[in-house]
Structure 1
Amino acid sequence: MIKSSLTGRIGRLAGDNGPERVLIAASFVNRVGNGLFNAASALYFTLVVGLPAVQVGAALTIAGVIGLCAGIPGGHLADRRGARTIMMSALVVQALSMAALVLVESWAVLTVVATVDQVAAAAGGAAAGALVVRVGGDRPARFRAKLRTFVNLGVVLGTLGAGLALAANTRGAYVTLILGNAASFALCAALLLLLPRYPVLAPPPAQRRWGALTDRPFLAFTALYGAMGLQYPVVSLLLPIWISEHTEAPRWTVAALFAVNSLFCVLMQTRIGSRIETPRDGGRAFRTAGLLFLVSCPMMALAAYAPVWAAAGLVLAAIFVHSLGEVWESSAGYALGFGLAPDHAQGQYQGVLGLGFSAGQALAPALLTTVVLGLGTTGWLLLALFFAALGAAGPSLARWGMRTRPQPAVAAEATG
């Protein structure tokens, strides 16, 4: 009986129906591969291939900037040709480009291969957003919360596998990671064949072709979401530097904070995210996230003034609060990002949202290291106020967005 109950709970967590379970499984496999690759890619190109770190950084930056431009047209193509088809095509391209990385011996080749990979990733990401809406049905935000739970778990498992290769530190180990990531793209594409062919939704007659680019409430949300996305590099970049250079906390605290952050997000994403469905819910969740970051950032700053064990305790408590804010923020993003986008143009809208988020992530390292680290404690307090101000705009933005959406009667007339 206990075993049956546990199996049932796991089954419900993994999806309410066959298509949900297929997409969760495909995404999980892909993210395990991503975790394998991301943790060791830079070391492979610098230590094994022998490229200078500056060249590797330049190649990846060029690829990332060019890739940003592919999300919106890729999403539009998904809306008109089918999200599953475009996502599968992008995954196949990524599988091939990832496998080609083992042949890279020069900066120019790395730049070309990485650019192809990033273009496919941006287009595939927008198509994936549209596919989530079709698979998730009436509750896409709830499904996306479940999906993100397994995505986070996949990255954690992949990163653990990468640790074994890093310990071995041989060319064969690094090549295995790269080819493992390539295989994950191919397997993900194959699993998507199990999904039904969702029909393309025709736009209303008066709908603009590039409506996402003229939708002011959605563009405003995209800007807020991209800015709030600075909270991710706070954990991955800013806090580790702060711990090592400005606190007496033990160095193992850096590893502990990643473990706490990942584990907490895995455990709480579905529990919290499943309750945040509508844009109105999303606006309130965005505000809650800002308030949680308002608490966590000063706690991180105070660690610089505490003795060893108190500093470690403050950092871990801060990352707990910050992780809670991350779950609320991501759940708000799903509710608003899906809820404000029309069903027939989800891919295009997700492409716009992805562009805004990626632009924020590209600017984040320079902003956080120069402003926050440069100003020290003052910088942390300013960052906390910045996050709180962004969050405070969430409810009013949600109301604005809902006022400017087509009313049900109007939408029915347009599609009739």
Structure 2
Amino acid sequence: MPAYARRVTRGGPNGARTRGSRGGPVLIGALAVDSLGNGLFLPLSLIYFVELTDVPLALVGVLLTIANAVTLPIPVWAGTLADRFGALPLVVGAQLLQAAGFLAYAGVSGPVGILVSSALVAIGVRFFWSAVFTAIADLVDGTATLLSRDTWYALANGARTAGLAVGGLVTGLVVADGRDATYRAVAYAAAACFTAAAVLITAFVRTGPRRAHEPLERSGYATLLRDRPFLSLIGLNSVYALSSMMLGVALPTVVLTGIGGPAWLTSVLLAGNAVLIAVLSAPVVARLGGLRRTRCLVVAAALWAAWCASLAVLGPGQPEWVLPVLVAGTLQFTAAELVHAPVSMGLAAAIAPPAARGRYLATFQYSFTISSIVAPAFFATLFELAIAAPWIALGALELASIAGVLALERRLPADALRPVEDVRRDTTA
């Protein structure tokens, strides 16, 4: 039997599980459609309003920042709602909010319209990321799937990456066209994608009945705030989240300004990264099934540190080194991302008390939220000092995180460290 073919036994007394979930493949497909909508609009997030309104670029940037800032408390609410009512309805509601926001984009003409429509989308995005991983965990817990939870997270990661890549490719043609009607067509298409994803999930996906759990001695967030190992994991994951964002944030500037490389090189590297993530996510995680999740994170950190080292040695006037070093470095980055994304979520879900999993996983998303805020300033400030400075600093953080993960490992429950501890091999199949 393949390493990833394991019968899940979480939930219920004596290892019995609550069944009733269905539609796992449809959920993965719906996530791909959802990310197609994101991919369609992501490259246009600023230029769309500049092209279709008279609002200055600087003001557009401020309005988008405000729209995203007001969403910061949402994971706290989303986690509570997910634990009380289930995560899947939140995912559907988040997609419909984003659809409404993109429909509003098509009629925007001034600052108020930009703020309201972008806030709708931003709120939907924050609710989505605060609930989707709990929804996947609930789905796995309620079905006799032969795939581990980590593998489901990997499938979702691959599907979303594929959708983003296809959407970005399509939008590249839109930017080349440049007509107002074409820009609005992208907004309508994005709204259609989110609506289709919501309809698919509503019609075909179920996560089974809510299960009874041992009550918590304190409310979910009080328990979480006293859970120092989990808070430590959030802190460590903020370093990994920062690294995962640096390829998109920094690579164009590094190639064009730092080393004077050709403009097409960034697109090729980013496309190659997306293809490998989409294709290899599930197979790579299947190979990691027998390893401790914490050791997998150590491997990811070491790979990211090696990627940082490769960028730190580059500089202008090295044409014979640029291509091979960037390609090798991007492969190291991709390998780190393939390992980190599903394993970190699997570890967070395994640590969380079942009765508070929605709150735990929603709070875990703050590691990505904080890093998305910090990443541009972190890179730009250090890059101004020296071309190698951001990579030396980030590489040092990655190396320090290895010691942190190994120390954390001793404080985590043994049954959270390995995916195979969450599952039992089906010896009767």
TM-score w.r.t. the length of structure 2 is: 0.85
Cα separation, 1, equivalents of 2:207 and 2:241: 33
Report 1:270-281 matches (<5 A).
270-276=282-288, 281=292
In structure 1, the partner of 2:247 is: 235
Query: For residues 274 and 39 of structure 1, what CA distance do their matches in structure 2 show?
Result: 33
Residue 7 of structure 2: aligned partner: none
Which residue identity does 2:126 align to in structure 1?
A: A
What is the one-letter code of the residue matched to 1:33? G
Pick the aligned partner of 1:187 from 180, 196, 218. 196
Structure having the higher helix fraction is 1
Deviation digits for residues 323-342 of structure 1 (CA, Å, limit 9, x no counterpart) = 11121221331221211112
Partner of 2:376: 365
Secondary structure of the structure 2 residue equivalent to 1:401: coil
In 2, distance between residues paired with 1:344 and 1:87? 19
For 1:119, the equivalent position in structure 2 comes to: 123
The equivalent residue for 1:85 is 89
Structure 1 equivalent of residue 425 of structure 2: none
Give the partner amino acid of 1:342: P
Q: Which amino acid aligns with 1:45?
A: F
Gaps in structure 2 of 5+ consecutive residues: 1-20, 417-429
Say whether 1:337 aligns with 2:370. no
Deviations along 1:13-61, whole A, 9 cap, x unmatched?
xxxx952101111101111111001112211111222322211211121
CA shift in 2, pair 1:286/1:197, >3 Å: closer
Deviation, 1:166, is 0.8
Q: Work out the CA distance in 1 between the residues paired with 2:352 and 2:186.
A: 37
C-alpha distance 35-206 of structure 1, shift in aligned 2 (>3 A): closer
Deviates more, 1:394-403 or 1:94-103: 394-403
In the alignment, is residue 212 of structure 1 matched against residue 215 of structure 2? no
Name the aligned partner's letter for residue 269 of structure 1: S
Q: Does the 8 Å contact 1:290/1:325 carry over to 2?
A: yes
Q: Which amino acid aligns with 1:157?
A: V
| Corresponding residue number in structure 2 for 1:13 | none
Distance 1:119 1:373 in 2: 33
Q: Which secondary structure does the structure 1 equivalent of 2:206 belong to? A: coil
The 1:248/1:115 distance shift into structure 2, 3 A limit, reads: closer
Question: Which of the numbers 157, 160, 170 marks the counterpart of 2:169?
Answer: 160
> 2:257, 2:103 → 1: CA distance?
38
Counterpart residue number, 1:133:
137
From 319, 322, 325, give the equivalent of 1:314: 325
Counterpart residue number, 2:258: 246
SS in 2 for 1:239: helix
Asked if residue 352 in structure 1 is aligned to residue 363 in structure 2, the reply is yes
Contact 2:215 2:355 in 1 (8 A): no
Unpaired runs of at least 5, structure 1: 1-16, 406-416
**Mapped contact 1:201–1:343 kept (Cα < 8 A):** no
Moved over 3 A (4+): 275-278
Partner of residue 151, structure 1 = 160
Q: Given the superposition, is the C-alpha separation of residues 378 and 355 from structure 1 closer, same or farther in structure 2, using an over 3 Å criterion?
A: closer
> How many Å apart are 1:170 and its aligned residue?
0.9
Indicate if the aligned counterparts of 2:161 and 2:277 stay in contact, CA closer than 8 A. Answer: yes
Report the counterpart of residue 198 of structure 1 in structure 2: 208
Of 410, 416, 429, 1:399 maps to: 410
Aligned equivalents of 1:61, 1:96: Cα separation in 2: 19
Identify which range, 80-89 or 178-187, moves more after superposition.
Answer: 80-89
1:225-253 CA distance string (max 9 Å, x none): 12221113321121221111121422221
CA contact (8 A) 1:226 1:359 kept: yes
Alpha-carbon distance, 1:65 to partner: 1.6
Q: How big is the shift at 1:381?
A: 2.1
1:287 aligns with 2:298: yes
Residue identity in the other structure for 1:53: L
SS of the residue corresponding to residue 167 of structure 2 reads helix
**2:427 paired residue number:** none
Q: Does 1:301 align with 2:332?
A: no
- Change beyond 3 A, Cα 1:373–1:380: farther
Question: How many angstroms apart in 1 are the aligned matches of 2:110 and 2:412?
Answer: 48
Distance 1:313 1:303 in 2: 11
Q: Structure 1 residues 47, 102: CA separation in 2 closer, same or farther (over 3 Å shift)?
A: same
Displacement of 1:316: 1.4
Contact 1:290-1:392 at 8 Å conserved across structures: no
CA distance in structure 1 between the aligned counterparts of 2:238 and 2:211, rounded to whole angstroms: 28
- Distance, in Å, in 2 between the alignment partners of 1:303 and 1:246 is 8
Name the SS of the counterpart of 1:400 in structure 2.
Answer: coil
1:177 paired with 2:186, answer yes
CA distance 1:391–1:45, change in 2 (3 Å): farther
Q: 1:75, 1:348 within 8 Å by CA — same for their partners in 2?
A: yes
Query: Which residue of 1 is the match for residue 9 of structure 2?
Result: none
Q: Does 1:257 align with 2:261?
A: no
- Contact 2:139 2:206 survives alignment (8 Å): no
Counterpart of 1:3 in structure 2 is none
Q: Distance in 1 between matches of 2:163 and 2:214?
A: 39
Question: How far apart are residue 178 of structure 1 and its match?
Answer: 1.0
What residue is the counterpart of 2:37 in the other structure? 33
Task: Verify the 8 A CA contact 2:296 2:340 in the aligned structure 1.
Answer: yes
Aligned-partner residue type, residue 143 of structure 1: W
Shift of 1:382: 2.6
Q: CA deviation at 1:160?
A: 0.9
Distance apart, 1:121 and its partner CA: 2.1
Partner of 2:59: 55
State the aligned residue count: 388
CA distance in 2, matches of 1:162, 1:174: 9
Query: Hey, what's the Cα distance between the residues in 1 that align with 2:260 and 2:45?
Result: 30
8 Å CA contact 1:231–1:326 kept in 2: the answer is no
